[in-house]
């Protein structure tokens, strides 16, 4: 693979892109690119054409790999039109070759010919360009040489192209892999992820310690969730990486994992991607027999590492992450820049000392890094602001992420995170028929104060009754306070998510506050955003539906 890349002119610093499934060929492409000193950037096959081009037009890859067919939830997905459109759009801005991968369903090789006179190759044709007698060699490059380009969500604007160094990415991910997740050379590591997510690159690091990685592509719910869980047990997985959303689905569907398999080899369950609420924390721990190390961790694409993490040797408290990640000077600041963690007050998660995996640049930034500074270091001059709202338990020293700080709810001057609301609502999952929820603030130009809105998606055959709404309000009041109770609760058909399984709060907040949003390619269900526009005229909605709106 690396020899063929070199034969095609890929050199140090060139970008290699891929529209690709989670597969062995994807791993091979990424590692081959790194060996040359190139920069790898991947997107999942379910990302829309516009979302892909929003990213790749900025970084201008010299070489791109693309799937031509994929399969998801038992359905064949043709990718030729998307691949052709992307190749044509990039052909005039530096793309030299496009390699079409064989169908992941049939193994068939399909050629597109020469769109816009661009040499388009099948995988065998591409590999045939390399010298078969060539020995793999690794370019010797500085610690800070770029290796990956990842992207911000782009749900409320063009995605930022975040460039990470080889040294920083490897050092941080290996630290988390070996010390937090306790992955060893004989272990089997199964992380559910797509190729466009930070966790995919993190997963590759397990190879560096000699572990085996399981590559899974497709829906974890097809043909059913039990089949997926049985796979985890049957493959003797030691470290299982998943999300709060997946565990919520297990609970909501009434599935008992221990009735599916014994999970005798399972030692660590790592959960990330969203807030792991206290009720879901308990459920996840008990779901696998109460004998696994449950690692609740949070970090970010921006800094290629965990900021709050754990260790198998430390005690675990329900609903809390165990400690600040090793080597990271994590603190909690109020708006004035004062550290408030010893007071037990919530505030901004910040990093006050340098660390090796800060982005080395945002692609396309000015030479002085103006965009990078404005993005991460402008709120508190010289201090990295991550954008999470966090509190430290004064007794246990455990950490709790309360949600995104730009989505902090602030009715009547009381600041709290959406995660606090979700933690209460987890108690209603399944039994009350609640499938999902979204809690955001609304403040239009004419509003003097922010109001809290709660949107509830019900399971098929269930509805948000006045009785259930009353129970929700009472639970929030009793567990939190009267000021935490949403002003309005509405039933909706769908909740928007990114393709990486994260709830989209900020875009909905902007919509209900009067803005118009163009869905980006990272929104898994872009049609769902249209459901929220009518709430910018909330007085009309409330007047016509008596505070219970069903779209």
CB 389 within 8 A of CB 409: no
pLDDT at 430: 60
Sequence-distant (≥ 6) Cβ neighbours of residue 133 within 8 angstroms? none
Beta strands 268-271; 293-296: pairing state: parallel
With a pLDDT cut of 90, the percent of the chain lying above it is 76
Residue owning tokens 């609420």: 277
Residue owning tokens 């749900």: 155
pLDDT at 117: 66
Q: Which of 242-251, 369-378, 426-435, 541-550 has the lowest mean pLDDT?
A: 541-550
pLDDT band of 543, cuts 50, 70, 90: confident
- Residue 73 corresponds to which tokens in the numbers above? 């939830």
pLDDT > 50? residue 551: no
Q: What is the mean pLDDT of residues 31-44?
A: 97
The domain segmentation of the chain, as residue ranges, is: 2-141, 164-404, 408-545
Q: Which CATH number fits domain 164-404: 3.40.50.12780, 1.10.3720.10, 2.60.40.420, 3.30.450.90?
A: 3.40.50.12780
In whole angstroms, what is the distance from residue 390 CA to residue 273 CA? 15
pLDDT at 429: 63
Sequence-distant (≥ 6) Cβ neighbours of residue 119 within 8 angstroms? 96, 97, 98
CB 166 within 8 A of CB 31: no
pLDDT at 547: 41
Quickly count: other Cβ atoms within 10 Å of residue 28's Cβ: 12
Class (C level, CATH) for 2-141: alpha beta
What does pLDDT average to over the chain? 92
Q: Which of 77-86, 403-412, 415-424, 510-519 has the lowest mean pLDDT?
A: 403-412
Residue owning tokens 């459109």: 85
pLDDT > 50? residue 147: yes
The secondary structure of 18-85, three-state, reads EECCCCHHHHHHHHHHHHHCCEEEEECCCCCHHHHHHHHHHHCCCEEEECCEEEECCEEEECHHHHHH
Q: What is the mean pLDDT of residues 412-428?
A: 83
Q: Which CATH number fits domain 408-545: 3.30.300.30, 3.30.565.10, 3.20.20.70, 3.40.50.11750?
A: 3.30.300.30
Ramachandran region, residue 407 (left: φ > 0; alpha: ψ -120 to 50; beta: rest): alpha
Same fold, 2-141 and 164-404: yes
- SS3 state at 441: strand
Its pTM stands at 0.86
């Amino acid at each position: 693979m690396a020899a063929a890349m070199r034969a095609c002119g890929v050199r140090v610093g060139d970008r290699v892109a891929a529209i690709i499934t989670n597969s062995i060929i994807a791993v091979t492409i990424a590692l081959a690119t790194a060996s040359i000193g190139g920069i790898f950037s991947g997107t999942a096959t379910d990302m829309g054409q516009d979302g892909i081009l929003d990213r790749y037009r900025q970084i201008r890859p010299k070489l791109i790999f693309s799937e031509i067919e994929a399969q998801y939830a038992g359905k064949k997905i043709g990718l030729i039109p998307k691949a052709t459109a992307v190749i044509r759009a990039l052909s005039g801005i530096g793309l030299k070759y496009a390699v079409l991968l064989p169908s992941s369903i049939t193994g068939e090789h399909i050629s597109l010919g020469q769109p816009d006179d661009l040499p388009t190759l099948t995988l065998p044709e591409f590999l045939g360009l390399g010298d078969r007698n060539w020995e793999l060699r690794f370019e010797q490059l500085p610690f800070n040489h770029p290796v990956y380009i990842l992207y911000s969500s782009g749900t409320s604007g063009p995605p930022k192209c975040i460039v990470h160094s080889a040294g920083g990415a490897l050092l941080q991910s290996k630290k988390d892999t070996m010390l937090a997740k306790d992955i060893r050379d004989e272990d089997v590591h199964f992380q559910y992820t797509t190729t466009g997510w930070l966790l995919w690159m993190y997963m590759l690091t397990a190879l560096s310690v000699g572990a085996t990685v399981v590559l899974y592509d497709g829906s974890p719910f097809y043909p059913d969730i039990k089949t997926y869980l049985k796979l985890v047990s049957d493959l003797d997985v030691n470290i299982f990486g998943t999300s709060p959303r997946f565990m919520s689905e297990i609970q909501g569907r009434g599935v008992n994992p221990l009735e599916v398999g014994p999970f005798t080899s399972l030692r660590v369950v790592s959960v990330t991607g969203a807030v792991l609420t206290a009720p879901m924390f308990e459920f996840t721990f008990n779901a696998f027999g109460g004998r696994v190390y449950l690692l609740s961790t949070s970090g970010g694409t921006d800094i290629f590492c965990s900021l709050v993490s754990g260790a198998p040797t430390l005690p675990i408290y329900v609903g809390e992450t165990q400690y600040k990640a090793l080597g990271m000077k994590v603190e909690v600041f109020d708006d004035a820049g004062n550290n408030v963690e010893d007071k037990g007050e919530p505030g901004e998660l910040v990093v006050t000392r340098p660390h090796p995996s800060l982005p080395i640049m945002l692609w396309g930034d000015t030479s002085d890094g103006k965009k990078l500074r404005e993005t991460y270091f402008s709120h508190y001059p010289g201090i990295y602001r991550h954008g999470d709202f966090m509190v430290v338990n004064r007794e246990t020293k455990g950490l709790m992420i309360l949600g995104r700080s730009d989505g902090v709810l602030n009715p009547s001057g009381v600041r709290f995170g959406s995660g606090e609301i979700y933690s209460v609502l987890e108690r209603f999952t399944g039994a009350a028929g609640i499938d999902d929820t979204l809690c955001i603030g609304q403040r239009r130009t004419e509003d003097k104060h922010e109001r809290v809105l709660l949107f509830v998606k019900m399971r098929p055959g269930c509805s948000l009754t006045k009785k259930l709404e009353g129970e929700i309000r009472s639970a929030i009041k009793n567990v939190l306070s009267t000021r935490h109770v949403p002003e309005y609760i509405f039933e909706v058909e769908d909740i928007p998510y990114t393709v990486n399984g994260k709830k989209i709060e900020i875009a909905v907040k902007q919509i209900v506050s009067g803005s118009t949003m163009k869905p980006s390619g990272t929104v898994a269900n872009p049609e769902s955003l249209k459901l929220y526009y009518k709430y910018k005229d909330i007085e009309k909605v409330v007047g016509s539906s008596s505070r219970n709106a069903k779209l």
